[in-house]
Structure 1
Amino acid sequence: MHTYTSKINKSDLITIVAHKAGVEKNIAEKIIETFLATIINELAHGHAIGLSGFGTFENRLYKKKKMKSNLNGKISILDERYIPKFNPSKNVKEKMNLKNQ
Structure 2
Amino acid sequence: MTRSDLVTLLAERFPQITQKDTEFAVKTILDAMSDALAHGHRIEIRGFGSFSVNRRPPRMGRNPRTGEQVPIPEKLVPHFKPGKALREAVEAQGKAETR
Greater fraction helix: 2
CA distance in structure 2 between the aligned counterparts of 1:71 and 1:96, rounded to whole angstroms: 40
Residue equivalent to 2:75: 81
Residue equivalent to 2:31: 37
Which digits, 9 at most, give the CA deviation of each residue in 1:15-69, with x for residues without a partner?
0111112221111111110111111100011100011111100000000111012
Name structure 2 gaps, 5 residues minimum.
none
Q: Which of 53, 63, 70 matches 2:57?
A: 63
1:98 Cα deviation after fit: 1.1
Of the structure 1 ranges 23-32 and 85-94, higher mean CA displacement relative to structure 2 is found in 23-32
Name structure 1 gaps, 5 residues minimum.
1-7
Structure 1 runs of 4+ aligned residues shifted over 4 Å read: none
CA distance in structure 2 between the aligned counterparts of 1:19 and 1:53, rounded to whole angstroms: 23
SS, match of residue 31 in structure 1:
helix
CA distance in structure 1 between the aligned counterparts of 2:5 and 2:60, rounded to whole angstroms: 39
CA distance in structure 2 between the aligned counterparts of 1:97 and 1:87, rounded to whole angstroms: 15
**Aligned residue-pair number:** 94
CA distance in structure 1 between the aligned counterparts of 2:9 and 2:53, rounded to whole angstroms: 29
Residue equivalent to 2:13: 20
1:76 Cα deviation after fit: 1.5
1:72 Cα deviation after fit: 2.7
